[in-house]
Amino acid sequence: MKPRARSLVQVNIAVLIWGGTAMFAKGIAIPVGPITCGRSVVAAATLLLFLLLFRKPVRLNRVGHYGIMVVLGILLCLHWLTYFAALKISTAAVAILSLHTYPVFTALVEPYLFGEKLKKIDIALVIVVFSAVLIMTPEISLSNTTTQGIMLGIVSGLFFMARNLMTRKYIQEYSGSTLMFWQVTVTGIVLLPLVALSEKAEYSPQTIGLLLLLGTVFTALPQTLFSASFKSLSAKTVSILATLLPFYGALLGYLVHAEQVTSRTALGGLIILTCVIFETVKNVGK
């Protein structure tokens, strides 16, 4: 298989697997905190094994980078906690589409951080995305689970945006696997005390098996595949392919948990994804 074709397969498999991650929120019968902690610990062990086996660097180049990794790990932790909370109370389609508002918000925030010019088209895109979110929202009430899911998904996206922007600004010299290893390690360490102090969850053999699956196949593996795809594909191509995540998530949500996609969610989601693809394509050549 040619390198480009192999990379296309890798990124599609990675996005499909990430879409399946949404199924664990309802499939694992323990709170969000223990799920995220278990996922992080298993993923950290898997990624460390991968780095050692393939003789890739584990240590960081500068002492100051360890502090940055702590902040990135905390941001990842908050991103996962809010994302899984959104998945717990709403459908996969709602949670994932709300999360995917982050690329457009990034276009609004990024210029201020890097001394770049803010374009009017980016402001317009943010307004359109907000309109799409309003279309998806059944009612402006925190008692509505769909509304709660949308808000948590957007907050999760903002944490993810902050993590990405901080990575770009301060630390770009490491592979995706090395970056992810340190971040999931921090996430696991941060959550261990909280899990220990929380109400005791029942860890049945099925729950433990699902956590192992989530940490290895649905976290460490797609991260490795996604990072490898950049060897033969542009960031633009990878980003556009990543917009298939809501489709995969909604499809698997329907097949596994019989989740229905309402017309409001479909319309709002279509608008959001159109804005995301447009924002990605217009940056060709930059």
User: Is 111 inside a domain boundary?
Assistant: yes
- The count of residues in the chain is 286
User: Is 53 inside a domain boundary?
Assistant: yes
Whole-prediction pTM: 0.90
Using one digit for the tens of pLDDT, what is the confidence trace for 137-147? 988 788 899 99
106 and 165 Cβ atoms separated by less than 8 Å: yes
Q: With pLDDT > 90 as the criterion, what percentage of the chain qualifies? A: 52
How confident is residue 286, by pLDDT bands cut at 50, 70 and 90? low
48: Cβ contacts below 8 Å, ≥ 6 apart: 58, 181
User: Is 286 inside a domain boundary?
Assistant: no
Q: Cα dihedral sign for 28, 30, 35, 37?
A: negative
How confident is residue 240, by pLDDT bands cut at 50, 70 and 90? confident
Query: What is the tally of helices (H) and strands (E) in the chain?
Result: 14, 0
Using one digit for the tens of pLDDT, what is the confidence trace for 42-70? 999 999 999 999 999 999 999 999 999 99
The Cα 20–Cα 4 span in angstroms is: 25
Angle of helix 176-197 relative to helix 32-53, nearest 10 degrees?
150
Residue appearing with tokens 């932790």: 77
Confidence at residue 236, expressed as pLDDT on a 0 to 100 scale: 64
Using one digit for the tens of pLDDT, what is the confidence trace for 259-285? 989 999 999 999 999 988 887 777 655
Residue appearing with tokens 């909370």: 85
- Please state the rounded mean pLDDT for residues 184-209: 86
Using one digit for the tens of pLDDT, what is the confidence trace for 146-196? 999 999 999 999 999 999 899 888 888 888 889 999 999 999 999 998 887
User: Is 124 inside a domain boundary?
Assistant: yes
User: Is 254 inside a domain boundary?
Assistant: yes
Range of weakest confidence among 17-26, 87-96, 238-247, 266-275: 238-247
The Cα 78–Cα 94 span in angstroms is: 19
Residue 176 one-letter amino acid = G
| pLDDT exceeds cutoff 80 at 233 | no
User: Is 44 inside a domain boundary?
Assistant: yes
Structure tokens at 38: 């278990």
User: Is 183 inside a domain boundary?
Assistant: yes
User: Is 212 inside a domain boundary?
Assistant: yes
Enclosing domain of residue 236 = 3-281
Confidence at residue 182, expressed as pLDDT on a 0 to 100 scale: 97
56 and 177 Cβ atoms separated by less than 8 Å: yes
Q: How many domains does the chain have?
A: 1
| pLDDT exceeds cutoff 80 at 244 | yes
